[in-house]
Structure formats: C-alpha cells, structure tokens
Amino acid sequence: MKNTISYLIKKLAGAGFSLSIFFLFMLSTSNIDMYRFSKDISNPLLWLAFFGYGFICSIIIDFILSKFSQNNLSTKVILYVVAGFSIFIIFGFNLFTIIAGTIGAIAALLFYFGTVIANQKSVIKYIFAFVMPILFLIIMNIDFTVKKQWSEVKKETSYSASFDYFNGEQQIPIKAKEGQTISFSIEMNNDNGGGHGHHILNEKGKLVPMIESTEKNMKFSVEKTGVYRVVVTGDDLKGSFSVDWKIEDL
C-alpha cells in the first residue's frame, strides 16, 4: 500500500510539474496580467489534460514497459511523445494538429521529467504534487481586477461607471424569475483604445446563451429563478460604460 501511494504521488508530481511549467509560460505571455492569468488557468480542460489524460497515460506507459524486457530511456520518451501527440489526431491531420500535437508532446515530456525529479527528490515531489496545484487553485479564486478613479452609479434598472483605468471585470447582478426574459443594452465609451467585452453568468457561474443579440442590445431567457450577472470586462481600458436592462414576463 505504501509503495502504491508513493507511486501515485510521483504521478501527481509529474502532472503538477508539467502543469506548473505550462501555467508559468501562460503567465509570461500575458505580460504578468494576473486577472487574465487567473481566468486562463480556470479552464477545466487544462486540468483534465494534465491530471486526467496525462496521469492515466503515464500509468499505461509504465504497464506497457513492464511487459517488455527492454525498458530504456529512449523507449519511454517515444511513448510519452506519442501519448502527448496522439490525442489531437481526432481533429484530423492539419496545421492545428501539428501545432497542438507538438505542444502536447512537449507537455508529455515535461510530465515524464517531473516524475524523474520526484523520484529523486522527495521534497520536490510533494511541492509539485500538492503545493503548486493548490496555489493555482487559490489564484483561480482571487479577483485581480484593478480599478483607478472608479466612479459608479447604481439604479434599479441601470448601472454606469467611469474610470481612468479598468483591467478586469465588473459584475452587475439582476434578479429574475423563471420564465421571464431579460433584455439589456451596453453603451461603452473607449477613451484609449483598450480592450473590452461582456457576457452573462448564472448563479452557478455558467455562461448564459443569448437568444437575441445585436451590437448593443441583447436578450436571454431566464430558465431558473435567481440572480444573473452581466459581466463587463476591461483590458487596460480608460473611459466609461453604462448598462440598462428590462425584465419582461413571457
């Protein structure tokens, strides 16, 4: 039992090591934008790829190698590369497959390298198996929104804000009952060319699809009574925005 637990922790360390390298690369490409980074690493598919697919493939590779007398480094490397690349074959053989498969193969090799390090250094094993994943989970749940000179006005069916700097998100809650329809419009004044966007979330934090949408006016159906949130996002933005909404019974 002790050997089995140690073996599984080593695999978790491999997943944590490769995930950490991948996430740190994402952080560097985001210009250390912690808001964007926290949202990017919240993608459940990334966690599933490393701690699900990668974890299982590593165990299968060990099982395959145990059936053969030749168990050398080159064979392991080839199997990890194949495992990392092959999952993208389902999209056909095209440029996307080549690029994504190459990234997958690199991630798989990092996974293997992480298991090797974990096998030699027990402290590192626990750091990558538990500490780093927990750290990223904490980051995922922190709001890194930055606002400067923020001034807002809240009314019953409207919300407006002006600011010198906005990087992150502002959520506007709207209470509605099942069967109702919420229609709303967003007016954005962009003074510096910064990025911006918007989306709708339900109480579970899931995206709500629009049933009608134009450049400024949108509408969606309320499937369950609760609080829905209009989320306005800014990316190094200066200016102002206003949100007006109307709740209608069908």
Q: Each residue of 146-164: pLDDT tens digit?
A: 999 999 999 999 999 999 9
Residue 213 pLDDT more than 80? no
> Distances in Å between the alpha carbon of 208 and those of 72, 139, 191, 205, 224?
51, 24, 29, 9, 11
E strand or H helix at 105: helix 95-120
Same-domain check for residues 86 and 67: yes
- Residue 122: predicted pLDDT: 82
What pLDDT band is residue 92 in, cutting at 50, 70 and 90?
confident
pTM: 0.86
Same-domain check for residues 62 and 175: no
Same-domain check for residues 194 and 234: yes
Three-class SS state of 127 = helix
Same-domain check for residues 46 and 132: yes
Write the pLDDT tens digit of every residue in 180-195.
Answer: 999 999 999 999 999 9
Same-domain check for residues 105 and 191: no
Same-domain check for residues 175 and 210: yes
List the domain range (segments joined by +) for residue 99: 2-140
Strand ranges in the chain using DSSP code E only, listed in sequence order? 146-148, 151-155, 158-176, 180-190, 195-201, 212-213, 217-221, 226-249
Give me the number of domains the chain comprises: 2
Q: Judge contact between 181 and 217, C-beta under 8 A.
A: no
Identify the domain boundary among 140, 160, 188.
Answer: 140
Same-domain check for residues 223 and 119: no
pLDDT, mean over the chain:
92
What does the DSSP 8-state code read for residue 207?
A: B
